[in-house]
A and B are shown apart, each in its own frame.
Chain A
Amino acid sequence: MNDTPCPMPRPDVIDTYFQEHRAKLIDIAAFLDRVDRSSGGVDDDVRVRALHKAIPLLIDGRGDRARRILELLSDPTTDPVDQAPAKGAIGVDPNGSY
């Protein structure tokens, strides 16, 4: 890792990107509200549990947030599997203890 600083000054970084990420934050809030207002299916979908577990990483005061959240959402096993249930991925480790 060579860690070149972002050449854009911090006030400009915030001016440039704040609105976009403010909107994404509200999207997450509205998504969680929507899940609460809906019914049917399982009460504790693994994807929603994983999201709840990931959110605190945003404010734990440490860097590398994107990498750490991606790792949290990854299958931690190392051996190939005999068979996959489907071609697609769901976005979190389906067997994760979130």
Chain B
Amino acid sequence: MKYIDPHIHMVSRTTDDYARMAQAGCVAVTEPAFWAGFDRSSAQGFYDYFRQLTDYEPRRAAQFGIRHFCWICINPKEAEDPAFAREVIKFIPEFLGKPNVLGVGEVGLNKNTRNELAILEEQIALAVEHEQLILVHTPHLEDKLKGTRLTMDALEAAGAQPGRVLIDHVEEHTVGEVLGRGYWAGMTLYPDSKCTPQRAVDIIEQFGSERLWINSAGDWGVSDPLSVPKCHVEMLRRGHPRELVEKISYENPRAFLSQSPKFSLD
């Protein structure tokens, strides 16, 4: 079954993973800019990372018939030093014009600090000014509920349209409020922590399939680039129709992402 994985960090994955994803039906990925597991020592480190996302990675994906799109930003884990973050923000507009860049992301909060929030607000303003879609990372564990609310407040204060913002890594305690405030919501599937495929399907059963998608967020940590098709199997074995699987995993991401004129599956 064809699908889109709208949040996966392919720079951390092998070429074999592209091959296996293509075999499982993946036709497109979108890759947000994120933390590499260590702090970059200079803004130039980000510049090269953005070149990798906008130039090299689409070519690697194309070998397997997968369309590669990305999102550009400075991630919240490296936003604690505002002066450093602003050096990076300065050259983000140059990359927003690249053909595979869909918007600003994954921006958000990590530990809900004032510095993180200031840099988030500056990047939301940049996205609004450049009419970009926004992909939001929400904090993990005990920080998620508070961070999700602070982020939505910041988006609303900046006049971002909720329908052009996807708030990712929702769980049972945040999904209702995210959808209720008009945003799109992403569920991230992890093999052994946070949201499992089973819980993602539970959430779909409880909250419906409007403005909701699933992704693997595969990266350098314990993660599974095939967790999206594994979730399809979970939906089908519970007796959900194929149309619902296609809606969650293909039609919904296509609808949200198509708000960027650069997104195309042709």
Contact = CB atoms under 8 A, between A and B. Distances in A.
A89 interface: yes
Binding site secondary structure of chain A: loop
A91 B142 contact: yes
7 contacts: A3-B205, A8-B237, A67-B173, A70-B172, A81-B113, A89-B141, A92-B141
A89 B144 CA distance: 10
A84 B206 contact: no
B173 A70 contact: yes
Contact of B113 (A6, A77, A82): A82
B199 interface: yes
Measured as residues with beta carbon below 8 angstroms from the partner, the interface class of chain A is: 20 to 34
B77 A74 contact: no
Interface in B169-224: 171-173, 176, 198-199, 202, 204-208
A92 B143 CA distance: 9
A7 B236 CA distance: 10
B238 A7 contact: yes
A93 B113 CA distance: 15
B240 A7 contact: yes
Contacts of B171: 66, 70
A7 B114 CA distance: 45
Nearest to A63: B206
A19 interface: no
B142 A75 contact: yes
A64 B57 CA distance: 41
A6 B238 contact: yes
Nearest to A93: B142
A89 B145 contact: no
B164 to A, nearest CB: 23
Interface in A39-98: 64, 66-67, 70-71, 73-78, 80-84, 86-87, 89-94
A92 B140 CA distance: 11
B205 A16 contact: no
Contacts of A2: 206-208
Contacts of B226: none
Interface of B: 77, 80, 110-114, 116-117, 139-146, 149-150, 171-173, 176, 198-199, 202, 204-208, 237-240
Given A7-B239, A66-B171, A84-B80, 9 more contacts: A6-B205, A66-B199, A70-B144, A70-B171, A75-B112, A82-B114, A87-B110, A92-B141, A94-B142
Contacts of B207: 1-2
Contacts of B208: 2, 4
A81 B80 CA distance: 12
Nearest to B174: A70
Given A67-B173, A71-B173, A80 B114 contact: yes
Nearest to B150: A80
Contacts of A17: 198
A84 B142 contact: no
A5 interface: yes
Given A3-B206, A70-B172, A92 B114 contact: no
A93 B146 CA distance: 11
Contacts of B202: 6, 66
